[in-house]
């Protein structure tokens, strides 16, 4: 008689353990979804970063659009055409192509002339 009772008890434990594990996984998924939503809202509030196609910031470019950032450039290769040696050189980017920051405009307040 003890055999079926033990089997039922272990089965009940297994069912409870599976249910708790499933609940835990759903809770973790919900926490992750809330975190992603918060990050998406924070990202949406920020203006676009002025980054060029060369991935350098607008501040690294002069008025003519030339980039003044140094990049790591391969200068020597092995027999399999893999770079072996690098040197720091000026970025070859010719023109900043990212979003243009809005200039600040001052306007007088409208007054009622009547």
* Residue range 75-85, pLDDT digits in tens: 899 999 899 99
Return the ∠ at Cα 39 (arms to 38 and 44), rounded to 5°.
100
The reported pTM is 0.40
* Residue range 19-52, pLDDT digits in tens: 999 999 999 999 999 999 999 988 888 777 777 7
């Amino acid at each position: 008689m003890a055999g079926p009772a033990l089997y039922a008890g272990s089965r009940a434990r297994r069912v409870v353990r599976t249910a708790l594990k499933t609940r835990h996984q759903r809770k973790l998924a919900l926490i992750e979804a809330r975190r992603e939503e918060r990050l998406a809202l924070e990202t949406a509030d920020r203006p676009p970063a002025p980054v060029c196609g060369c991935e350098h910031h607008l501040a690294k470019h002069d008025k003519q659009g030339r980039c003044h950032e140094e990049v790591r450039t391969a200068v020597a290769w092995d027999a399999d055409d893999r770079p072996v040696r690098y040197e720091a050189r000026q970025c070859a980017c010719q023109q900043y192509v990212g979003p243009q920051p809005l200039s600040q405009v001052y306007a007088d307040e409208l007054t009622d002339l009547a």
